[in-house]
Amino acid sequence: DYEILEMQRRPDGFSQPDFRKLNPLGKLPALQLADGTVITESAAIALQICDEHPAAGLLPAPGSAARALAYQAILFCAAELYPADLRYFYSHRYSVEEGAGEGIKAQGLKDMERLFDHAAEQLVSGPFVLGESFSAADIYLFMLLNWHPEADAFLAKRRRLATPWERVRRRPSVDRIWKMNFPE
C-alpha cells in the first residue's frame, strides 16, 4: 500500500512548506517509511522497496552472482547515467561561469549516449537487464532511458536497450503510472 503525493515546484523550491521539514534538500523522489523516516535517492528507494517486499522478486537471492550484477546495474545507473542526465537537463548547476552551460549540456548528452551504449554492451544480458528475469535494475534503466531528449530515435537504434524498455513499459503497474504522467 502506498500514497503518492505530487509536489508542485516553484522557481524558489516546492510549494508545500512541510516537505522541506521532512526533506531539507527538497529532493525528489522521496519515500517516507512506516516509522516516519524519509529517504531520498532513487537507488536507495528502489533497494528499500525490494528489501521490504522480497516476495515481489525484484532482486535475485542475496549472496548470488545475479544479486551482485543487479547491484552493479542499479549503482551504475545511479552513479554514472543519472549524473550525465542531470548535466544535460540542469547544465546551469554545474558551473558558476556565464555561458558554460551549453558546453556542459553538450558533454552531458555525449556522456549519456556513451554510458547507455556501455550499459547495452556490459549490463543488459537478455530481454531484461539480468537476462530472463525482470528486476529493479530494469525499472531504473527504464526511467533513465525515458529522460533521453530523443528517446524514441535513440532506442530505435539500440535494440539491446529497446527490448527491456518495451518489456518494462508493457507491465500493467508501469502502464498505470505512465498514464498518470503522460495522458494521451
Query: Per-residue confidence of the chain (184 residues) as pLDDT tens digits?
Result: 778 887 777 766 666 777 887 788 878 889 999 999 999 999 999 999 999 999 999 999 999 999 999 999 999 999 999 999 999 999 999 999 999 999 999 999 999 999 999 999 999 999 999 999 999 999 999 999 999 999 999 999 999 999 999 999 999 999 998 998 888 7
pTM over the 0.75 mark: yes
- Phi/psi region, residue 91 (left: phi>0; alpha: psi -120 to 50; beta: rest), is alpha
CA distances from 149 to 7, 47, 100, 118 (A): 23, 27, 20, 18
Do the Cβ atoms of 126 and 132 come closer than 8 Å? yes
Instruction: Indicate the SS3 state at residue 128.
Output: strand
CA distances from 128 to 9, 75, 125 (A): 34, 16, 7
